[in-house]
Amino acid sequence: MDERSSFVIRTKYEKILATLPAEQQGAILMALMSFVVRDEFRHLSDPSAQMLLNVMIEDVQEDKAKYKERCEKNRRNAYKKWGKDANDANAYDRIQSHANDANGCERCRYDSDYDNDSDCDSDCDSYIRPSRPSSYMDDRKNALKNQISDLTKITLSKAGGA
């Protein structure tokens, strides 16, 4: 087989392994390891242990086939995206320069409760944060000017009345 650092032993085998003596459990595990690491198929003397080993080996082979299929699919997808001329420095798309703008959506662009969350669900269809309309900013400026004006009048009236 290929050089693998791990493989899956399914928990469904625990009940079956528990019924076997420790020597057979160890023999099954070592035979399975031998198959995965060195591609050696060992025959066990006990027929029930051999049957369990055969089922476990089938699962390992299915897992390996699924893994190879997934790797090939990922390879094809990577080639679709990046499989351009490797010698051309301008062949690859660059990462967008305004990555912070990618988190907004139409529903949460006016989040004004001054907390750290965006109050936006992750299922938004739009990922580009639109800028606020100028009328919104004009309204905010006018409101601030009115507040400053009111505070100035209060301060002046207190200073003049004293």
- Per-residue pLDDT tens for 37-74? 998 999 999 999 999 999 999 999 999 999 999 988 98
Q: What is the pLDDT of residue 80?
A: 81
Judge whether 141 lies within some domain. no
Judge whether 73 lies within some domain. yes
Structure tokens given for 148:
């400053």
Q: Which of 36-50, 81-95, 137-151 has the lowest mean pLDDT?
A: 81-95
Q: Is the pLDDT of residue 93 over 80?
A: no
**What domain count does the chain have?**
1
Reported as a pLDDT band with limits 50, 70 and 90, residue 1 is: very low
150 residue type, one letter = D
3-state helix, strand, coil in the chain (%, to 5): 60, 0, 40
Judge whether 25 lies within some domain. yes
Residue 54 · residue 32 · CB < 8 Å: no
Judge whether 102 lies within some domain. no
Q: What is the pLDDT of residue 32?
A: 95
Judge whether 148 lies within some domain. no
| Residue range(s) defining the domain that contains residue 60 | 11-82
Judge whether 24 lies within some domain. yes
Q: Specify the pTM.
A: 0.48
Q: What is the pLDDT of residue 113?
A: 54
Region 76-81: mean pLDDT is 82
Cα separation values, 26 from 10, 38, 47, 134, Å: 16, 17, 15, 74
Judge whether 129 lies within some domain. no
Judge whether 2 lies within some domain. no
Percentage above 90 pLDDT, the chain: 33
